[in-house]
């Protein structure tokens, strides 16, 4: 019995050392009805020739060259040429678990449309995984196990870009890859959140995420920290901000200052608080820094927390909960 077709979309650029292993993991999938639309984004190494050799042997691999520039144009082209009822992405330097497609597909079939299937991820590296990446993996997997990824969407991208699957029409309904906002995976996640697509919990590692020094997420300017702040502010103002409530920025470090600047650029008034006695009473960007206790004097404020330290975050959460503040309604962690 023929199964529904799954389209796998891969942009690639200069991943000759890893792309063969990636393609082998796709060919070994236990779900057989797939097509791979793989786009060369101006590679200058041997990546194209490696992929072309696979395409010559496998009729369900279509190799194209990007007619634009960058990952978004490559994804648009891949999606345009895809025919699958289900759509998923893959990174050219990573590895799929052999049951990845089958598991994601079955979860979507079970739960129906307006759901996102995802899975747990595992970082690996020839040089070992840093504490930062290990913590990110643990945090992301903790959210995915419960399907409550959106609860912390303003911290970081809560759906791994190479480990999700959607019904084609659900992806089209949120404008697929037809936006030009970076990071593109984070933007897609926010659009899923906006559309209220439910995330299906998962307890299975489906994706092996390779880390190395020249990975795009480490070197591409589109994935710089300021891009993340831009996208967070954009969607916060669009989806969660209530202009009838006072807005507060908690924290006056580098990230807090960037958030403050972005709010001023958008003509959004705000109060600014912290617990640093050296800053309280001073004016930064013409806003007076107040002690965090000032929040209690405000009526139903919304609070953007820019404090990154995990211990301090726990203290802030405890304070806010003691004042009956609700996450993703009254307060939002932006780091």
| Model confidence at 2: pLDDT above 80 | no
Domain-located, residue 287? yes
Domain-located, residue 295? yes
- 50 shares its domain with 133: yes
Please give the residue range of the domain that contains residue 75.
Answer: 6-223
Question: What average pLDDT does this structure show over 279-290?
Answer: 97
The 3-state secondary structure of 237-293, one letter per residue: HHHHCCCCCCEEEECCCHHHHHHHHHHHHCCCCCEEEECCCCCCCCEECCEEEEEHH
The string of pLDDT tens digits covering residues 120-164 is 999 999 888 888 889 999 999 999 999 999 999 999 999 999 999
- 197 shares its domain with 104: yes
- 319 shares its domain with 219: no
**Of 223, 244, 260, which one is at a domain's C-terminal end?**
223
**Of 223, 239, 269, which one is at a domain's C-terminal end?**
223
Torsion sign across C-alpha atoms 201, 162, 158, 139: positive
- 62 shares its domain with 142: yes
The string of pLDDT tens digits covering residues 48-89 is 999 999 999 999 999 999 999 999 999 999 999 999 999 999
Domain-located, residue 214? yes
- 202 shares its domain with 289: no
C-beta neighbour count of 299 within 10 angstroms:
6
- 216 shares its domain with 312: no
Q: What pLDDT is recorded for position 221?
A: 59
pTM for the model stands at 0.94
The string of pLDDT tens digits covering residues 177-234 is 999 999 999 999 999 999 999 999 999 999 999 987 665 555 555 555 566 999 999 9
3-state secondary structure of 212: coil
Please name the residues in contact with 166: beta carbons below 8 A apart, sequence gap of 6 or more: 86, 87, 88, 108, 116, 117, 192, 197
- 213 shares its domain with 266: no
- 175 shares its domain with 256: no
**Of 204, 223, 242, which one is at a domain's C-terminal end?**
223
CATH classification at residue 39: 3.90.550.10
Number of domains comprising the chain: 2
- 189 shares its domain with 199: yes
Domain-located, residue 1? no
- 102 shares its domain with 19: yes
- 97 shares its domain with 128: yes
- 239 shares its domain with 122: no
CATH classification at residue 305: 3.40.50.720
């Amino acid at each position: 019995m023929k199964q529904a077709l799954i389209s796998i979309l891969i942009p690639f650029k200069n991943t000759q050392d890893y792309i063969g292993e990636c393609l082998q993991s796709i060919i070994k999938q236990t779900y057989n009805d797939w097509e791979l639309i793989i786009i060369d984004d101006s590679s200058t190494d041997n990546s194209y020739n490696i992929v072309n050799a696979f395409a010559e042997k496998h009729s369900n691999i279509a190799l194209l060259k990007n007619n634009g520039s960058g990952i978004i144009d490559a994804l648009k082209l891949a999606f345009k040429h895809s025919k699958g009822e289900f759509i998923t992405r893959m990174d050219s330097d990573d590895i799929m678990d052999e049951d990845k497609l089958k598991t994601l597909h079955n979860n979507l079939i079970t739960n129906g449309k307006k759901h996102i299937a995802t899975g747990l991820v595992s970082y690996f590296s020839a040089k070992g995984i840093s504490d930062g990446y290990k913590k990110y993996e643990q945090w992301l997997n903790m959210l995915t196990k419960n399907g409550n990824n959106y609860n912390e969407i303003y911290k970081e991208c809560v759906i791994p870009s190479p480990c999700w699957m959607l019904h084609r029409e659900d992806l089209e309904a949120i404008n697929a890859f037809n936006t030009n906002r970076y990071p593109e995976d984070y933007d897609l996640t926010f659009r899923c959140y906006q559309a209220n697509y439910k995330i299906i919990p998962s307890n299975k590692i489906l994706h092996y995420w390779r880390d190395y020094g020249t990975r795009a997420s480490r070197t591409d300017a589109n994935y710089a920290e300021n891009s993340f702040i831009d996208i967070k502010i954009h969607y916060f103002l669009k989806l969660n901000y209530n202009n009838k409530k006072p807005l507060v920025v908690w924290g006056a470090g580098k990230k807090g200052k960037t958030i403050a600047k972005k709010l001023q650029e958008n003509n959004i008034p705000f109060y600014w608080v912290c617990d640093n006695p050296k800053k309280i009473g001073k004016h930064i960007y013409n806003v007076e820094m107040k002690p965090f206790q000032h929040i209690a004097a405000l009526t139903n404020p919304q609070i953007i927390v820019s404090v990154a330290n995990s211990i301090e975050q726990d203290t802030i959460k405890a304070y806010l909960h003691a004042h009956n503040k609700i996450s993703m309604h009254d307060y939002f962690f932006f780091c």
